[in-house]
Structure 1
Amino acid sequence: MKFLIVGLGNIGAEYAHTRHNIGFDVVEALAAKHSATFKVDRLAAVAEIKLKGKTLVCIEPSTYMNLSGKAVKYWMDKEKIAIEHVLVIVDELALPLSKIRLRPGGSDAGHNGLKSIHEVLQTTAYPRLRFGIGNDYPKGKQVDFVLGKWSDAELPVVKKKIEATIEVIESFVLTGIERTMNHANKIEVTL
């Protein structure tokens, strides 16, 4: 049984480890935990993980955020992965830094990566894990905040939350979305 684990972000050094690239950071940490390495492939960097008889195809789209749907569709088709076995990891302004949200579907909430996936797949019924980044920015500075690096105060929480997120991804693969949501949506990561 195969799963497609999609970390959303933008390629390029200037985007590395920004709030908007948390999807990349999560899938990289997941791959590192399982000693998998990413290789550049068509429309994405790809790493494959074996987990208790299941295969996780982890991708970081190289299409830039606004065209993420192209990479998701390509890898779903190439690996013959059902939509309910896709999990998209994305940054979320509407959630505090301490929270994550796992959902089986829903709106793009203005997120360009999710918007692209919706347009290409023609559905919003695919699982997504929203990684709260908070919204602690001055009026008119949303783009700077989202594309900015984590503050020194935030980093320990982010590191701890990435670890919790990896456990949620593994649970999604091993026990399904319903059981995982009950646990994941109650997680509160603080120091």
Structure 2
Amino acid sequence: MFIIAGLGNPTLQYRGTRHNVGFDVIDTLADKYNIAVETRKSRALIGKGIIAGQKVLLVKPQTYMNLSGESIGELVSYYKVDEEQELLVIYDDVSLDVGQLRIRRKGSAGGHNGIKDIIRHLGTDVFPRIKIGVGEKPKGYDLADYVLGHFSREEREMMEEGYQKAAEAVEMILAGELDEAMNVFNRKAKPKEAIE
């Protein structure tokens, strides 16, 4: 079984914010594969289903971002998944352009508190992840205010494309094509005019 965890903050006030793009990708996958992410377990909302022929557990931790590791650590332990092969974490990245993806097999938290907590609870930074760009923080902005802010209408459209790409990347990773997914999605998006 694969655990696919999207990071975010619970409660309505955070819906649609930059910090909640992990939840948005989980919602995209849930809609596409008709998986209800409504069961409460290990301080998360979870839903079981099949994607790309693999049993999956879609997860939205409800612990707030900074404590994401508590929930994910419990689920990894309960379902006895191998985090290096069967855990996939999806989250926001302020160092990438809006809607751009970056797929990695492992790596540091890069200043992301949710990932920092997951690494602390798992005791390793070796687990696949999909980062989704939310754009760089404007000068003079507080980082917390920026990531808890909402997208403009134009940015939202770009993010919707990013969510669809992330869903495609998830399918490839589940099919055992992580390297291929990195080759396809880690390139910078071309300007619209350049696309046929």
Provide the secondary structure at the position in 2 that maps to 1:150. coil
How many residue pairs get aligned? The number is: 190
CA distance in 1, matches of 2:82, 2:119: 15
Following superposition of structure 1 onto structure 2, how do residues 172-187 of structure 1 map, counting pairs within 5 Å? 172-186=173-187
- AA matched with 2:172: S
Deviations 1:84-119 (A, max 9, x none): 211100100011114210000001011000000011
Deviation at residue 49 of structure 1 after TM alignment: 2.1
Partner residue in 2 for 1:91:
92
Alignment of 1:5-154 (within 5 A): 5-42=4-41, 43-83=43-83, 84-154=85-155
State the 1:52 CA deviation.
Answer: 4.1
**Partner Cα separation in structure 1 for residue 31 and residue 79 of structure 2:** 22
- Where 2:170 maps in the other structure, the secondary structure is helix
Q: Distance in 1 between matches of 2:122 and 2:32?
A: 30
CA contact (8 A) 1:99 1:189 kept: no
Give the 3 Å change call, closer, same or farther, for CA 65–136 of structure 1 in structure 2: closer
CA distance in structure 1 between the aligned counterparts of 2:72 and 2:191, rounded to whole angstroms: 32
- CA deviation string 1:38-94 (max 9, x = no partner): 113121001122124311111000111111111111111222211121110010001
SS at 2:4 equivalent: strand
User: TM-score of the superposition, structure 1-length normalised?
Assistant: 0.94
Report the CA distance shift for 1:120/1:54 in structure 2 as closer, same or farther (over 3 A). same
Report the CA distance shift for 1:190/1:70 in structure 2 as closer, same or farther (over 3 A). farther
> For 1:28 and 1:98, how far apart are their aligned partners in 2?
16
SS at the partner of 2:153? coil
CA 1:38–1:189 in 2, change beyond 3 Å: closer, same or farther?
Answer: farther
Contact 1:8–1:61 (Cα < 8 Å) also in 2: yes
CA distance in 2, matches of 1:142, 1:51: 35
**1:161 & 1:190 partners in 2: Cα distance?**
14
Structure 1 gap ranges (5+): none
Q: Which amino acid aligns with 1:8?
A: L
Q: Which moved more, 1:133-142 or 1:29-38?
A: 133-142
CA distance in 2, matches of 1:187, 1:77: 36
Deviation >4 Å, runs of 4+ = none
Report the Cα offset of residue 187 of structure 1.
Answer: 5.5
Counterpart of 1:137, as a letter, is: P
